[in-house]
Amino acid sequence: MNSKDISGKTLEDIGISVLLIALFSATIVDSLGGEFLFTENLVMTIVTFVAVLLAAIRVTNIPAIIAGIATVSYIAYKLYQMFAQGGTIEGLSYLWIAIPGLAVLGMALFSKGIQRLQRDNNVLSKQVEDLIMIDPLTGFYNLRSMYMDIQTQISYAERNNTYISLMIIRPRYRKELKDVLKKEQYEKVIVTFSKIVYETVRLEDRVYSLDSDGTVGVLLTCDRQGAKLVEKRIRTKIDNTNAFDNIAQKPIRMEIQLGFLEYKKEYNRDAIKFKSLVEEEVAYDI
């Protein structure tokens, strides 16, 4: 089986199991080694701990190098004791040949499992985000949905010789409102503003929530003259409403920037270009 086929959760489980086995073995050696082996066991335990710690913070290659050097050095030391000093090698000491490498391997697998889970989670989050067509705050369709609907409406208008227009409306003093209002209050302003627009346009016109600042898009099934009438109704409604009065301690005066364009064949069915041109019209509404 290819390592890429193993899930992050499985890698985590394997890694933590190997690490626990290594730590348990080190504990056994330390406990049963006695005073004679105390110093070398302490040194090997500290070196193993350092290597595992580096592996935990994902330092590349260094933990494996430390574990390898520790193992080779320990073997050389024990061979020196046996041949030069005539000593014997305790059976427990053989475990130190495997413990550092196993401990580093276990932590490396555990860290790789976490990394893979995070990557998979990011991919899933991106996929979910790409599929979401509804703005969670206002409940209206979002920008992605508007682009799709523009393409559909363009095709319909061209087949039936009808008109479509795109209108974009946004609060004029968004930054200032954010500075003086709490987050919950600003969100309530956005929701109220969006609902006013929705209640003002016709049922066949579609309202979209375009960003977190309260910008609203309206796809109108009319020409430029009809869009002007819609603009007049929206401005009148916003100017005369008291819907914003109870959101904060003081009444909020809502002012808007608004722009619209009737679709033309020269836009070549380019929804993004169409929206950008309308945004330029919004910018001119000073």
Q: What percentage of the chain reaches a pLDDT higher than 70?
A: 94
Is pLDDT of 180 > 50? yes
Model confidence band, residue 4 (pLDDT cutoffs 50, 70, 90): low
Span 240-254, average pLDDT? 78
Contact 258, 234 (CB under 8 A): yes
Lowest mean pLDDT among 4-13, 126-135, 160-169, 189-198: 126-135
Rounded to an integer, what distance in angstroms lies between the CA atom of residue 209 and that of residue 195? 11
Rounded to an integer, what distance in angstroms lies between the CA atom of residue 202 and that of residue 168? 16
Give residue 131's pLDDT.
62
Tell me the backbone φ, ψ of residue 51, rounded to 5 degrees. -65, -40
What are the tens digits of pLDDT across the range 56-100? Answer: 887 778 888 888 898 898 888 888 777 776 666 777 778 888 888
Is pLDDT of 241 > 80? no
Span 28-49, average pLDDT? 84
Give residue 88's pLDDT.
66
- Domain boundaries of the chain, sorted by first residue: 3-131, 143-284
DSSP secondary structure, 2-22, as one string: -GGGS-HHHHHHHHHHHHHHH
Tell me the residue type at 113. G
Span 261-278, average pLDDT? 91
Is pLDDT of 117 > 80? yes
Residue that wins the pLDDT comparison between 167 and 33: 167
Looking at every residue in the chain, the average pLDDT score rounds to 85
Model confidence band, residue 1 (pLDDT cutoffs 50, 70, 90): very low
DSSP secondary structure, 185-251, as one string: HHHHHHHHHHHHHHHHS-TTSEEEE-STT--EEEEESS-HHHHHHHHHHHHHHHHH--TTTTTSSS-
Residue that wins the pLDDT comparison between 82 and 42: 42
CATH topology of domain 143-284: Alpha-Beta Plaits (3.30.70)
Tell me the residue type at 229. L
What are the tens digits of pLDDT across the range 216-235? Answer: 999 999 999 999 999 999 99
Q: What percentage of the chain reaches a pLDDT higher than 90?
A: 22
